[in-house]
Homo-oligomer: A and B are copies of this chain.
Amino acid sequence: MVTRKEDFSKWYLQTIQQADLMDYSPVRGCMIFKPNGYEIWEHIQDYFNSRLKEEGIRNAYFPMLIPESFFSREKEHIEGFSPELPWVTEAAGEILEERLALRPTSETMIGDAFSNWINSYRDLPYEINQWANVFRWEKRTLPFLRTSEFLWQEGHTAHIDEKSARERTMKMLGIYVEMIEELLAVPVFQGEKTPSERFAGAEQTYSVESMMQDGKAVQTGTSHYMGTKFAEAFNIKFLNQDNEHVYAHTTSWGVSTRLIGSMIMVHSDDKGLVLPPAVAPQQVVFIPVGPKKKLADVLVKIEELDRALKGIGIRTYIDDSDNSAGYKFNEWELRGAAIRIEIGPRDIEKDQVIIKARDEDEKIEVKFDELIEYVELELEKMQKRLLDKARQRNIENIYTNIETLDDLVAHIENKRQAGELPGWILAGWDGSEESEAKIKEITGFTTRNIPFDSYFEGENALPHKSKCIVTGKPAVATVWLARAY
């Protein structure tokens, strides 16, 4: 078993396989989501669907195949996506007249539909969401984080004006913040993407970014304000209250199954998977301990306790397999069961169980009649502990006092020699693509996002940087720099 420190990438691959979350497939870059992996996605879907319902946004489903001519209508969009598209060229024994792309995202298909459905200001806002598989033929792939086929939700909305569209863009980013922090216990950094990192065709892209245990960043969600670009490309016009035909303002926003990979990279440890209880397929695992001939009574008790926990909606599992208790302890640490409950004959005599939370070392004795309350509370506490621990790690790994590229290079080298993480760097940026390219070339770091103004206010305010880390010219923005997945 390789540790995080020895080889983080290898540790990650080992962790997700031993936890039985996924498997590789015979198709390059496409993975299999096994039930334990897919269930995490189902919990994300349930949470997000309930948030959509509050917003009055309904689900729909659009065709996966997109005609080539559709992509060409928005110039930046086709340029951005064409290097990664798979194409259907034949069907039912015939060559197609026009190639069909496997969707990398559905702005074009949905833009065309919107142009048919939206006629008057009374039709707006028009807001829908889609859960779908999408394709981006990536050169280097990594399970969950970057795969040729992945699962996501994509929301698409059209509005009467910029204000209303911008409100939706920011509202959805805020919902992502809450979902990723509350459900996945992964803290995020909110901000605006620099122009070179924008979604292909967007006026503005906002992102939430999260720090992994190796200090690298993952873009965990994005929300885009499109202005009228897609409306112009797909002719999404409506009659406004002044009886004029004008273009709608559109947005789109999405999170994908890469959330699963990031969550694992944030919480898991050298013993295996650690999952926030809110999404753990097994919140409680019962393991009978003691001599085999006495286990029948123990199992009767376990089944009684199991029914009680299931009764209040806790996801439980009884491991009554033939393996030894020690083997099972190890197995369920690998698989990230949130709480392990051990019971043996002597515990039954004492009306108690032994409880161990996956992220704590201590074992606790809990009386039968306090069990339900204890488990409920401990799951909540564990959810919070994981978020707090990740927040603390973030604080320890951000650097706000690096002023030049030379300093950054030295910082990275010092950290490397100390066996520590280079972390994230808050830096001034002169607004040029050349400076971004230079940073990447020299250090491998990229601009993650431009923190919102609120990060520069109040108690733990980040400092505004006045000079560009590359050119020393006046900074137009203060940005996060980090290596990224």
Q: Which residues of A are interface residues toward B (Cβ below 8 A)?
A: 23, 25-27, 30-35, 38-39, 41-42, 58-67, 70, 82-93, 99-100, 102, 109, 112-113, 116-117, 128, 132-133, 137, 139, 149, 151
> Taking CB as reference atom, which chain B residue is nearest A108?
B26
Bound together, the chains give a CA A5 to CA B132 distance in angstroms of 38
| Copies assembled | 2
Most buried by B among A39, A62, A151: A62
Given A35-B60, A38-B61, residue A83 in contact with residue B87 (CB < 8 A): no
CB distance A26 to B67 under 8 Å? yes
Name A63's contact: one of B30, B88, B91 (CB within 8 Å). Answer: B30
| CB contact under 8 A between A92 and B88, given known A35-B59, A116-B23, A149-B64 | no
Is the pair A91, B86 in contact by a Cβ cutoff of 8 Å?
yes
26 contacts between A and B (CB under 8 A): A23-B117, A25-B109, A25-B113, A26-B67, A26-B109, A26-B112, A27-B100, A30-B64, A32-B62, A32-B63, A32-B113, A35-B59, A35-B128, A38-B58, A38-B59, A39-B59, A41-B61, A65-B86, A82-B93, A85-B92, A86-B90, A86-B91, A87-B88, A88-B88, A92-B137, A132-B133
Given contacts A27-B100, A70-B26, contact A149 B63 (CB under 8 A): yes
- B102 engages A92 (CB within 8 Å): no
Q: Which of B88, B109, B116 contacts A86 (CB 8 A)?
A: B88
Residue of B nearest to A93 (CB): B83
Q: State whether A38 touches B60 (Cβ < 8 A).
A: yes
A399 to B59 CA separation, bound complex (whole angstroms): 43
A149 contacts which chain B residues (CB < 8 A)?
63-65
Known: A26-B70, A112-B26, A137-B91. A60 touches B86 (CB 8 A): no
Chain B residues with Cβ under 8 A from A128's Cβ? Answer: 35
CB-nearest residue of chain B relative to A92?
B137
Residues of B within 8 A of A82 (CB): 93
B60 touches A32 (CB 8 A): yes
Most chain B beta-carbon neighbours within 10 Å: one of A32, A62, A63: A63
User: Is A61 a contact of B86 with CB atoms below 8 Å?
Assistant: no
Closest to A100 in B: B27
- How many angstroms between the C-alpha atoms of A87 and B149 in the bound complex? 16
Q: Known contacts A35-B59, A58-B39, A86-B88; decide if A27 and B137 are in contact (CB<8 Å).
A: no
| Contact, CB under 8 Å: A61 / B84 | no
Residues of B contacting A35 in the complex (Cβ-Cβ under 8 angstroms): 58-60, 128
> Given that A26-B67, A62-B32, A63-B149 are known contacts, is A92 also in contact with B100, CB under 8 Å in the complex?
no
Whether A61 touches B33, Cβ cut-off 8 Å, given contacts A27-B67, A109-B25, is yes
Enumerate chain B residues within 8 angstroms of A93, measured Cβ to Cβ.
82-83
Give bound CA distance, A149 to B61, whole Å.
11
Query: Given that A38-B59, A62-B32 are known contacts, is A113 also in contact with B27, CB under 8 Å in the complex?
Result: no
Closest chain B residue, CB of each to CB of A91: B86
Q: Is the beta-carbon distance between A61 and B151 smaller than 8 angstroms?
A: yes
Which residues on the B side are within 8 Å of A132 (C-beta)? 133
Closest to A129 in B: B35
Give the complex CA separation of A437 and B448 in angstroms.
65
Expressed in whole angstroms, the minimum distance between the Cβ of A63 and any Cβ of chain B is 4
Q: Which residue of B has the minimal Cβ distance to A99?
A: B90
Besides A83-B92, A84-B92, 10 new A-B residue pairs in contact (Cβ under 8 A), listed by A number: A27-B65, A31-B63, A33-B60, A33-B62, A34-B60, A35-B58, A38-B58, A82-B93, A86-B91, A90-B99
Q: How far is the CA of A84 from the CA of B58 in the complex (A)?
A: 32
Give the chain B neighbours of A42 by CB distance below 8 A. Answer: 59
- Closest residue of chain B to A82 (Cβ to Cβ) is B93
Q: Which residues of B contact A63 (CB under 8 A)?
A: 25, 27, 30-32, 149
Shortest CB-to-CB span from A45 to chain B, Å, is 11
**Chain B proximity of A83: nearest CB distance (Å):** 6
Most chain B CB neighbours (cut-off 10 Å) among A84, A92, A116, A139: A92
